[in-house]
Amino acid sequence: MLALFEPRSPRRKVGAMSLDTPTMSAPAFHSRIAVRLGAALLVAAASLWLGGLFWFVSKIKGEPPAFESPADGIVVLTGGAERMNVALDLLKRGEAQRLLITGVHRGTNAADLSEQSVGAAELFACCIDLGKSALNTRGNAEEAAEWATGRSYHRLIIVTADYHIPRAMLEFRAAMPGAELIPYPVSPPDIHIKGWWRYPGTTRLLAGEYTKYLLARASRTGGGKAKT
């Protein structure tokens, strides 16, 4: 007697997958590949950024330069009392003829600033100019360039925080390509460059400054006007 139903033959398997296992559609497969590729690129970019941050911090030098001869002028960027005191001391020592304080608030005058430093009133009366048009580092450089051109200055000492020197010099050299610029780093006492990763505040500051430095470089390369 014939069987009403023939026994089913075992499913053939290819590797670990049954032939009748549903396969992934092409769009889903491509989507998964795109996600994995994106994640890999993100990890690579983060690794490059982190490596660049360590390189950036390793280039921060707090040692002031030695001067063989006086400069024409000094430019100090506002942002800390230490910078101002250093710039005034350089002027007192005769390291330059005149000082520009760039980035001064519009409501601040020379008397306000002279009160912050002992014995600075005479210097403010004779040898210090206030720049009030700059709103960022690029503005500082442009303001200083205009000041130097008006006085025929070609050799300038640039005073700012040590961690700010790389970006400041990038902007100043772009604004004054023919000038001799001498970076003079000031080390703020509350910023810990050595072992910086152990101090959250310093880490945030340096990470932000490094990012601004990258944006400034990209802007200069692309000819843009990024506000840094």
The confidence score (pLDDT) of residue 5 equals: 45
What would the two tokens of residue 126 be? Answer: 């004779």
Confirm if 101 and 127 have CB atoms less than 8 A apart: no
Burial degree of 73 (CB within 10 A; 0-12, 13-18, 19+):
buried
Q: CA neighbours within 13 Å on the CB side: how many for 96? A: 29
Show contacts of 26-30: CB within 8 Å, 24+ apart.
none
100 pairs with which residues across the strands? 75, 129
The confidence score (pLDDT) of residue 1 equals: 44
The total number of residues written for the chain in this structure: 228
Residues whose CB is less than 8 angstroms from the CB of residue 104 and which lie 6 or more positions away in sequence, other chains included: 78, 113, 130, 131, 132
The confidence score (pLDDT) of residue 81 equals: 84
Q: What is the pLDDT along the chain (228 residues), one digit of tens a residue?
A: 444 445 555 554 444 444 455 566 777 776 778 777 777 778 777 888 889 999 999 999 888 888 889 999 999 999 888 999 999 999 999 999 999 999 999 888 888 787 777 678 889 889 999 999 999 999 999 999 999 999 999 999 999 999 999 999 999 999 999 999 999 999 999 999 999 999 999 999 999 999 999 999 998 776 555 556
What would the two tokens of residue 95 be? Answer: 């390291």
Domains of the chain: 73-222 (3.40.50)
Q: What is the dihedral of CA 212, 217, 223, 228, to 10 degrees?
A: 20
The Cα–Cα gap between 105 and 116 comes to: 15
What would the two tokens of residue 186 be? Answer: 């000031």
